[in-house]
Amino acid sequence: MEEINYIDQLRLVAIDHPEGTEVYPDERFLSEKPFASGEQIIASRETHLPAGAWNDNGEDVLPLLAKSDHKYVRDFKNLGYAGLQTGTR
């Protein structure tokens, strides 16, 4: 996402959650409703990989998504706004 050029409001939120639970904020970046409210919290205890992931050419990209190693699916057409991409060429 683009960097913020100003700060209108700033707050720190702490979430008490059970051990072994991962918590994620609602960080959707959408150009139309429903926009991210910042109020929804996503919590997960038993995370697992999807059954499969394929690009628009039908190639298996699950190995690129399987772990947090800074390897990403990259074969996308860049849009005019930095940070957003589409699966069409």
pLDDT at 7: 65
Sign of CA dihedral 53, 55, 61, 64: negative
| 24 lies in some domain | yes
Q: Considering the domain boundaries, does residue 70 fall inside one?
A: yes
| Residue 38 forms part of a structural domain | yes
The 10s digit of each residue's pLDDT in 11-29 is 787 888 889 888 887 777 7
Note if the pTM is more than 0.85. Answer: no
Count up the domains in the chain and report the number: 1
The verdict on residue 59 lying in a domain is yes
Query: In terms of residue numbers, what domain contains 38?
Result: 16-75
Residue 3: what pLDDT? 59
Sorted by sequence, the CB contacts under 8 Å of residue 65 that are 6+ apart come out as: 49, 50, 53, 73
Q: Give the tens place of pLDDT for each residue, 29-81.
A: 777 777 777 777 888 888 888 899 998 788 999 998 888 888 888 776 666 66
The neighbouring-strand residues paired with 43 are 23
The phi, psi pair for 64, rounded to 5°, reads -75, -20
